Structures are given as C-alpha cells and as structure tokens.
C-alpha cells in the first residue's frame, strides 16, 4: 500500500472529507487529492500537520516503504524522480571519502528531522500544553496571567487535533463534562451555534455551549450566561473531547 493510500484510508476511517482534511492541514483540496493519488508528496511541515489531523505517526505512513527497502525493492510511490536520480549518480561517482562525508550529513539530518518534525508522535505519546486555571462549568472564573504546563497523553486522532487543554471547574456542563475533567481544545476564533467552546466573557472563563445571544449550560440546575451588547467576548476555541492520560 502506498503512502497516498494510507493517507486516504486514515482520512476515511475518521469520516473526513478531502475538504475537511485540507482545512485541518492548511492546504487545498487538490493538494490532498494529489497526495492520495501519489502525484505529489507532502513536505515536512505538512506531514506534521497530517500526523496531527489523522491521528497517526510516521511509522503508519511509511511502513510499506520501509518494508520494501528491507527486502531491497522500491514501490512506484517511492521510485526516485529525475532530481533524485541525478543525486544518486553523483553519489556513485564519489570515492570512499566523499561517500563517508555524505553519509555523515544524511545521518545527522535524518536524526534532526525525527527529533524536530515528529516529536509529538514518538512512542505513541503526545505532549499538550495545559492551562493551570480552570474553565468554569458554573458561574464563571476570573481569567488572568494563566500559566501552563506540558502534559503527556496517548497520541490519537483527538489528542493530535488539540492545541491546548484546560481543567473544568463546576458541574453546569454535566453530563458531558464534570468537575475535575480536563478538556481538549482546538484553537479557533469562533464556534458554530450548538458547539461547546471555551469563552472569556468580561474577564471570566467559561466552558459552555454557544446559543443565540447566550452561553448555554447543559445542566438545567444552572442558568445560561446572557451575551449583551457591550460585553467583552472572546472565543478561545472548540472543545473536542476529554483528556485521558492513562499511558
């Protein structure tokens, strides 16, 4: 199976359209189509975003290529292009000293790539920035000078979409989210009506469902938060799930 096929399978397994994946990764729909059809190959920054969006790692995408290399073969998706063939010819023209120098640089750059491009998906563990101050699932918590720490979590489709996490204080969003939960947030300036987000309203931090001119509490024991003209309202992002830290 080619890298493009694995990208397509991972996308379809998550129920994502090409357009949705393109938005998550920051490329065009045609770029995703080209990747999946092995017309072009994603560069390193896009690979990293694909890992996050698809909840996979380098081992998943490249396993067939590595297996082919181990048996001394190449797949059509990894056949060298014209530029790579020229590099191969130049390499073969070098003496032993020249080849040793090239091998040294390649080894060092390969190690650097693994340590800088794929740091969040090594060993199936991802590091997420977690704010120390809780989002209120109640009457509101004042938001100021918040510190954050890095927490470790299993790497999966949900955690790799998250940009940060915040703890929950209160029970107004039960049964979906309870006091003490840590929720995963996809950073974005707006959420759609009916979606749950993290909001700062007049300096207070809430986890609520967005309604028409109000923030909705799922627990009927709690009142909604009205949004009035003149209020200071800021959306920190979309709540995409709970953080599970069991490794």
- Determine the Cα–Cα distance for residues 54 and 27; give it in Å rounded to an integer: 14
> Is the separation of the CB atoms in 196 and 211 below 8 Å?
no
Q: pLDDT value at position 196?
A: 92
Q: pLDDT value at position 120?
A: 47
* Cis previous bond, 175, omega within 30: yes
> Is the separation of the CB atoms in 187 and 237 below 8 Å?
yes
Q: pLDDT value at position 74?
A: 41
What is the mean pLDDT for each group of 10 consecutive residues in the chain (247 residues)?
80 88 89 84 75 72 46 43 74 85 78 53 69 57 58 76 84 88 86 89 86 91 90 86 68
Strand partners, 183: 166, 242
E-strand ranges in the chain read 125-131, 135-136, 141-142, 148-154, 164-169, 182-187, 196-201, 204-211, 214-216, 225-226, 233-242
Q: pLDDT value at position 109?
A: 72
Q: pLDDT value at position 124?
A: 67
Q: What is the pLDDT of residues 92-145, one digit of tens each?
A: 888 888 888 888 887 777 666 555 544 444 456 777 888 776 555 554 444 444
> Is the separation of the CB atoms in 21 and 29 below 8 Å?
no
Residue 242's Cβ-count burial label (10 Å; 0-12, 13-18, 19+) is middle
- What is the crossing angle of helices 3-13 and 29-36, to 10°? 120
Non-local (6+) Cβ contacts of 193 within 8 A are 210, 211, 212
- Please report the domains of the chain, with CATH numbers, ordered by start residue: 1-79 (1.10.260.40), 80-117 (no CATH), 124-242 (2.10.109.10)
> Is the separation of the CB atoms in 182 and 168 below 8 Å?
yes
Residue 168's Cβ-count burial label (10 Å; 0-12, 13-18, 19+) is buried
Strand partners, 150: 129
């Amino acid at each position: 199976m080619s890298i493009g096929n694995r990208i397509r399978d991972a996308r379809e397994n998550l129920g994502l359209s090409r357009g949705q994946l393109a938005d998550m990764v920051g490329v065009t729909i045609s770029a995703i189509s080209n990747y999946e059809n092995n017309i072009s190959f994603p560069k390193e920054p896009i690979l990293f975003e694909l890992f996050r969006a698809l909840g996979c790692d380098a081992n998943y995408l490249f396993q067939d290529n590595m297996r082919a290399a181990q048996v001394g073969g190449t797949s059509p998706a990894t056949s060298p292009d014209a530029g790579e063939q020229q590099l191969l010819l130049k390499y073969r023209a070098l003496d032993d000293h020249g080849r040793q120098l090239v091998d040294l640089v390649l080894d060092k750059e390969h190690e650097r790539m693994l340590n800088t491009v794929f740091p969040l998906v090594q060993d199936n563990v991802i590091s997420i920035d977690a704010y120390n101050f809780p989002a209120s699932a109640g009457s509101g918590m004042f938001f100021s000078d918040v510190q954050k720490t890095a927490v470790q979590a299993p790497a999966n489709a949900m955690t790799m979409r998250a940009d940060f996490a915040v703890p929950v204080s209160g029970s107004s969003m039960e049964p979906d989210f309870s006091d003490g939960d840590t929720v995963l947030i996809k950073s974005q300036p707006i959420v759609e009506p009916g979606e749950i987000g993290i909001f700062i309203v007049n300096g207070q931090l809430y986890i609520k469902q967005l309604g028409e001119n109000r923030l909705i509490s799922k627990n009927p024991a709690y009142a909604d938060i009205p949004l009035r003209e003149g209020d200071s309202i800021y959306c920190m992002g979309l709540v995409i799930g709970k953080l599970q830290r069991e490794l």
